[in-house]
Amino acid sequence: MRHVGLGILVSVAAMVSASTALAADLDYPADMRGSYNSWDEPTDPLMEFEAGLRYHYSRGGSSISTSGLNNSGIIVPATNGSTNDTTQFGEVFLRLNDLATDTYLNVYGGYSVHLDASYDNGLTSGQTTLGNMAYAVADFGYMPVKLGNDDVGATFGGFVGYQYLNDAPTIGGAEYRPIKDNSSLSWTTGTSSFFVPVEHADHTLNINALRLGLSTKAVAGSFDVTAEVAAIPYASLSGILGGHSFAPITSGGYTTYKATESKFDGSGWGGAADVMVGYNVTDNVAVRVGGRATYLRGQGNLVYGLADVTAPVDSNSDGTYDIGPSTGGTYYLTPERIDAFSLWRYGVLAELKVQF
């Protein structure tokens, strides 16, 4: 057995030596794969990342037109309100390009760093630097069409995305009277004088929108141009319309007050567009300038409460008011229709981008 085992070992050693020598003499084809460890090493990057900061100088505003009509048998004044602002935003962005599939993910968001707004609701008007604006966008795109090469050429494609807008300047004069019961009223006993509390309604409009669009990028050496145009087929509109207000209505021995904030719920449609021109300072750093615009239009319902207050009464006409002011508390109308709502924003952009 010892001699057999020794013979096997000698045979294996001889075969290994022979195969090694044969391999050294063979000339493998040039297109044959190398060792296993090098099979999956890509020769080009499969992902490209872009990130940076933008400064966005923007002008915009919103307007509403209400019908003043409802199904509760009560008619309130129709309202035409508007806000206009000049706002400066700081913005961050990130874009991931999948070079293997020609797809990309583009995400950016901005927040106001300075706001200067004016407002007019037909009852009061004024200016404010208080409040804030914000927005965020996330697009997933596909760029299948390519012309030219990496130095001089263009790509074309489309995208689907989501857009969020928050419009919240602090609007003065947006007041309501939170009347819940008789304890909400302050009365100077024995007189006709009474006081109704006042609170301020903060304007906050939230928009969640669907984006469907086309995008392109053209390159010529160190310069590039990118453009996007998007349809917004549907947008959900909701929030508090601080600009909606009207004066108390006196009729039939009592006064009707607006007793709550005005809550808006509606839908809209519109479009958006971006254009940017860039210059590559180095292989990894670029500066760009451009413009952006967004427009939305919609309709919806406005819900708010009213409260009727009866003034103090001098029941025996002796000059002393012996019955204080009274109210039945807050009641709600069926929704008042907003016939037209619009929001617009446009401005210029400056960008610093790094690419890796």
Alpha helices in 36-100 (DSSP H): none
* Residue 286: burial class (beta carbons within 10 Å; 0-12, 13-18, 19+): buried
Local confidence band at 6 (pLDDT 50, 70, 90 cut-offs): very low
- pLDDT at residue 345 tops 80: yes
Task: Provide the whole-model pTM.
Answer: 0.81
Summarised one tens digit per residue, pLDDT across range 82-122 is 889 999 999 999 999 999 999 999 999 999 999 999 888 77
- pLDDT at residue 26 tops 50: no
Summarised one tens digit per residue, pLDDT across range 295-329 is 999 999 888 899 999 999 999 888 899 999 999 99
* Residue 176: burial class (beta carbons within 10 Å; 0-12, 13-18, 19+): buried
Summarised one tens digit per residue, pLDDT across range 271-286 is 999 999 999 999 899 9
Summarised one tens digit per residue, pLDDT across range 222-258 is 999 999 999 999 999 999 988 787 888 888 788 999 9
**Can you list the domains of the chain with their CATH numbers?**
47-355 (2.40.128.90)
- Contacts of residue 243, Cβ cutoff 8 Å, sequence gap at least 6: 64, 81, 82, 83, 119, 121, 171, 174, 203
